[in-house]
Amino acid sequence: MSFDISSVIDARSAEREALYERHINPQMSRVLRAIGFDRRWAQGCGAILVDSQGKEYLDTLSGWGSSVPGPEPSGTVARR
């Protein structure tokens, strides 16, 4: 029997937000719900996010992720 990681991820995707809120950043989860960004994101490119329905959104929080590891965490390679 083969192991299909995609099906496991799909089957447990409903837990993702709850686990993030419980273990990572409860306040950010509340903010995302308040501004309507608590969607199932399917893909992204630059500042454009695409939800599971194919609708595109401008990611107004795109700089937030860089504050988690810091401006230049070790092991990060600068892109020019």
Do 40 and 52 form a contact (C-beta atoms < 8 A)?
yes
Provide the token pair at 9: 């991820």
Do 67 and 56 form a contact (C-beta atoms < 8 A)?
no
Nearest to 18 by CA among 8, 10, 26: 26
Do 59 and 48 form a contact (C-beta atoms < 8 A)?
yes
Q: What is the pLDDT along the chain (80 residues), one digit of tens a residue?
A: 688 888 887 788 778 888 888 888 889 888 888 988 788 888 888 888 898 899 998 887 755 555 555 555 565 555 55
pTM to 2 decimal places? 0.50
